[in-house]
Amino acid sequence: MTKEINKENEPIIPEELEEVEEEKIKRRRAVRFFESVGIFFLELIKVALLAGITIGLVRYFLFKPFYVKGQSMENTFYEHEYLIIDEISYRFREPERGEVIVFRSPTNPEDFYLKRVIGLPGERVKVEENKVVIYNVEYPQGMVLDEGYLDIGDQTVGSDNIVLGDNQFYVLGDNREASFDSRRFGPIDGSEIVGRTWFRGFPFNRIGVFNAPDYEL
């Protein structure tokens, strides 16, 4: 006599078991894939945030970009050139003669000027006969400033005779006939200085670090 087998209690055959296991494996792989993708994008966001914060801190506390506007510093710097301004050096030392600095306009603090440092605190600066004469402890009789960076034929027009106080600087543009500078608005205070020109990043054929001239004073 043949026994009837209850199909509900029928054991799972090996082939069905393999299909179930394969499905579980696929699900686990899918979960791991999406977890890895999520972790990757999370790390990417962290790196982007860290890079953004780092760049922001560097730009705010150390270096700032500056676009040249106008012709007052030709032929040293031309309009639309891209400069990097070093904001850290002057926290440890004073500006030096010949350095090109960015500072807030004495007449409008929202504007920024690019000029060259000519006179230092405590010195007397005299502009006469198209020359700049510096009087200080080392040269009480005065010394004509040798400005080899000026174009031949450029003239330091106007006249001035001023003694600089503590933390005061006399600044001039290299294009003397087209520069609004200390001959017009007087010396600037050190607190108005943003930083010194350190690097020219554009145009690429003029890229490089800027160094102040070595005056023979």
- Asked about 72 being catalytic, the answer comes back as yes
Q: Note whether residue 24 is domain-resident.
A: no
Would residue 114 count as lying in a domain?
Answer: yes
Q: Does 48 map to a domain?
A: no
Residue-range definition of the domain harbouring residue 153: 68-209
Task: Determine, yes or no, domain membership for 20.
Answer: no
CA separation (Å) from 14 to 11, 23, 24, 27, 86? 9, 14, 15, 20, 74
* pLDDT of 4 above 60: no
Residue 61, token pair as written in the block: 């506390």
- What pLDDT does 38 receive? 73
- How many domains, in total, are found in the chain? 1
C-alpha 151, offset from chain centre: 28
109 located within any domain: yes
pTM exceeds 0.75, yes or no? no
Q: Which of 115, 126, 179, 182 is catalytic?
A: 115
Catalytic residue (one of 72, 126, 179, 182): 72
* pLDDT tens digits along 170-206: 999 999 999 999 999 999 999 999 999 999 999 999 9
Q: Would you say residue 77 lies in a domain? A: yes
Residue 89 annotated as catalytic: no
User: pLDDT tens across 10-44, in order?
Assistant: 555 566 666 666 777 767 776 677 677 777 767 77
CATH number at residue 194: 2.10.109.10
pLDDT tens-place string over residues 134-145 = 999 999 999 999
